[in-house]
Amino acid sequence: MEQQLEQIRNQQKESWNKFSPGWKKWDTLVMDFLKPMGDEIIRLLKPQGNDVILDVAAGTGEPGLTIATKLSGGKVVITDLAEDMLTIARENATRRGINNIETVACDVCELPFADNTFDKISCRFGFMFFPDMLMAAKEMARVLKPGGKIATAVWNVPEKNFWVTAIMGTINRNMELPPPPPGAPGMFRCAKDGFIADLFMQAGLKNISQTEIAGKLNCKTADGYWGMQTEVAAPIVAALGKADDAMKEKIKKETYEIINNKYTDGNVVVDSSALVIYGEK
């Protein structure tokens, strides 16, 4: 089992590093899209003063960078599995004049921090990719100070996330993709109501709550939608990588039709839904 988890972890690290240029290219669009979930995490954590805060699986730096701007004397430690993503996070920090952050490339299941280090922990859209989610929750709880707060965001059910299903549904209709093994990392792995709350409970957290947050992916055009998805979303790129040119073109044509039929005015702003889960140590 440990070997299997190690293999998943290594594949993910390679994949996120590989896709970092796409994330950099589409960073403004993606961060605008994910902002409501980050805002809710920040509202729940109430970062202030000298707080020392951990942002897990932060990718290009959010919501950790925004959290850092709310501290008068504290700092944010921004972590991710992929060093290339953290390079972008540091560039974003420099551009915004944010100095009270540091970045650490590490695995959430082996956080390189002492017990009871952090006042608060944020983790936006990381859990569904962690090979061992319970171990991740326990590690976060371990490094959180007694009385500390944690908040995380995960995607809600597919029916409420057309921004994914428009293209993935088209791919699945056209290609015979092997189903992922049960419990394998994936977009909707944590979508079941109460799933993360239960993990938090098992990790020893308390005062747990869950809130649904809506978002909008403002692609503007079908071109924008297709471009972002095929340069940022690893599962989509992996699936299209198995298709020949004719099949790729068919999938692209059908995806454009689905998007253009839904957004007849040509303004492509796609709905999303996430769950934000909060707990305390």
**The predicted structure's pLDDT at residue 266:** 87
- Residue 87 class from Cβ within 10 Å (0-12 exposed, 13-18 middle, 19+ buried)? middle
Measured CA to CA in angstroms, residue 209 lies from 6, 63, 215, 241, 275 at distances of: 31, 20, 19, 40, 10
Model confidence at 17, in pLDDT bands (50, 70, 90)? low
pLDDT tens for 160-189 read 999 999 999 999 999 988 877 777 888 899
Structure tokens at 236: 């989509």
Tell me what percent of the residues of the chain surpass a pLDDT of 70: 92
Among 10-24, 108-122, 150-164, the least confident range: 10-24
71 CB neighbour count, 10 Å cutoff: 18
Residue 215 CA to chain centroid, in angstroms? Answer: 14
271 CB neighbour count, 10 Å cutoff: 13
Measured CA to CA in angstroms, residue 197 lies from 37, 180, 200, 231 at distances of: 17, 24, 5, 32
**The predicted structure's pLDDT at residue 25:** 87
Half-sphere exposure of 8 (CA within 13 A, CB side): 19
Torsion (CA) 243, 7, 197, 102 in degrees, nearest 10: -100
**The predicted structure's pLDDT at residue 22:** 64
3-state helix, strand and coil shares in percent for the chain, rounded to the nearest 5: 50, 20, 30
| Sign of the alpha-carbon torsion through 154, 8, 4, 179 | positive
- Distance, CA of 10 to CA of 13 (rounded, Å): 5
* Residues found in the chain: 281
Q: Of 250 and 129, which is predicted with more confidence?
A: 250
pLDDT tens for 184-213 read 888 899 999 999 999 999 999 999 999 999
Q: State the pTM of this model.
A: 0.91
Buried residues in 157-196 as b, exposed as e (16+ CB within 10 A):
eeebbbbbbbbbebbeeeeeeeeeeeeebebbbbbeeebb
Q: Do 205 and 280 contact (CB within 8 A), yes or no?
A: yes
For 88, the 3-state DSSP assignment is helix
pLDDT tens for 222-242 read 999 999 999 888 778 888 888
